[in-house]
Amino acid sequence: MVSGEGDKDFQFGTKWGFATLLNGEKLGLWKGFFAIAHMEYNMGNSVNGNGGTLLPVNTGLAYPGIEGADRFDGSVYLVQFLSKTDKVVIGKMSTRDLTNFSTFSGGGGRTGFQNTAFITAPNGITTPDIFGAAYMSNNEKRDLTFMVYDANSSLNKIGFKDRFQDGVTFFGSADIIVHIAGLKGKQGILGVASTKDVYNTDDVFDILNPNQTSQKKSNRWTLGYYFEQALWQSPTNKKQNFGLYGQVIMTDGEGSPVDYGFVLGLGGKAPFAKRPMDHWGIGYFNYSFSDGISELNIPTILKTAAGEAGIETYYNAFLTPWFSLGVDFQWIQPGLASRGGVSNGDAAFIGLRSGIIF
């Protein structure tokens, strides 16, 4: 953090990722079956939470964690292709990989945008890791996804103990593929609903200090619209392109700390013939807190703002096909207006990163 309230010391952290794919057909089982494991291990320190920010400014180091046993976790799931376009997925999955809604904003916090606002569209219902099942159908005209999973987060959890004890969450999305001036894009809608009962965020003190009169909110929901549209594409390489993208979400406002929010950005592959793997992005996000959260004021302890907003821009240069160097800049209006009696102004972060693909 180079500007803002709090520690401005340089923080160094690393993320290790290990992925294994087993092809069932080659193992003597049946066609279209795969088993996938994606493990993550974090080391060092991060700037998450500095300057009064509530959304992680470095998603890669925020999940699975950065301290103790929480720093190691992973996804293990089974995939069965029903056809070339349809598949079923069962197991523990990372929403950071599943819910990257745009081609131009992907990367799971590792190679693209780093702020969680651009990666998982925080809504208070969707959790960092899920345990459940998904059906996905993708073709040249449309994409469909439907998921059912444990309402509780599966982050840093293994096994089947206590699964689904607090309810289930349903997720669905559908988009159509469009072409404008010969360039590909998509327009889509999504919905999330959960049966888990939580304390109503209209009275945040019921969450901090629940009692017999505290009311719980059930049947929480989120609705959203998203789009992407390519603006440029290399005439010799269809995968080298950049475009505009965005997403808008709204929630029921009582069972989620977020009332509504949106992101808008521009990015993708760099338009340089000799640097086809480089990618870049610039985007703006704004998330408004629900009434109870935005009105939280505990003198000398903390006071929340109406929401959190910010700008992020990055450039990632691949010096070789397996080694990259990147720079990232974020300017955040933090969600905590004050902490410990000290006011938080705008916060600025500059980050450097490198990546090695084995």
pTM for this entry: 0.89
Q: Does any domain span residue 7?
A: no
Task: Using the predicted structure, report yes or no on whether residue 220 has a pLDDT greater than 90.
Answer: no
CATH of the domain at 41: 2.40.160.180
Which pLDDT tens digit goes with each residue over 306-352?
899 999 999 999 999 999 999 999 999 999 888 877 888 899 999 99
Which pLDDT tens digit goes with each residue over 83-140?
999 999 999 998 877 755 577 776 677 888 999 998 877 877 888 899 999 999 999 9
Q: Does any domain span residue 3?
A: no
Strand order in the sheet with 336-339: 297-298, 302-304, 336-339, 342-343
pLDDT averaged over the chain?
A: 88
> What percentage of residues in the chain have a pLDDT greater than 70?
92
Q: Does any domain span residue 1?
A: no
Q: Does any domain span residue 8?
A: no
Q: Does any domain span residue 6?
A: no
Which pLDDT tens digit goes with each residue over 1-46?
898 888 888 899 999 999 999 999 999 999 999 999 999 999 999 9
Q: How far apart are CA 298 and CA 344, in angstroms?
A: 15
Q: Which alpha helices (H) appear in the chain, and where do they start and end?
A: 59-62, 95-98, 204-208, 291-294
CB 118 within 8 A of CB 127: no
Confidence of residue 206 (pLDDT cuts 50, 70, 90): low
N- to C-terminal Cα separation, the chain: 30
Write the DSSP symbol of residue 208. H
Residue 214 has what pLDDT?
Answer: 55
Write the DSSP symbol of residue 3. B
The tally of domains found in the chain comes to 1
Q: Does any domain span residue 2?
A: no
Q: How far apart are CA 192 and CA 220, in angstroms?
A: 8
List the one residue out of 225, 226, 242, 138 whose CA is nearest residue 183. Answer: 242
Q: Does any domain span residue 61?
A: yes
Domain that holds residue 94: 13-356
Residue 316 has what pLDDT?
Answer: 94
Task: Using the predicted structure, report yes or no on whether residue 252 has a pLDDT greater than 90.
Answer: no
Q: Does any domain span residue 345?
A: yes
| Cβ atoms within 10 Å, residue 268 | 27
Residue 91 has what pLDDT?
Answer: 95
| Cβ atoms within 10 Å, residue 267 | 26
Q: How far apart are CA 67 and CA 156, in angstroms?
A: 12
Residue 71 tokens, joined: 């720093």
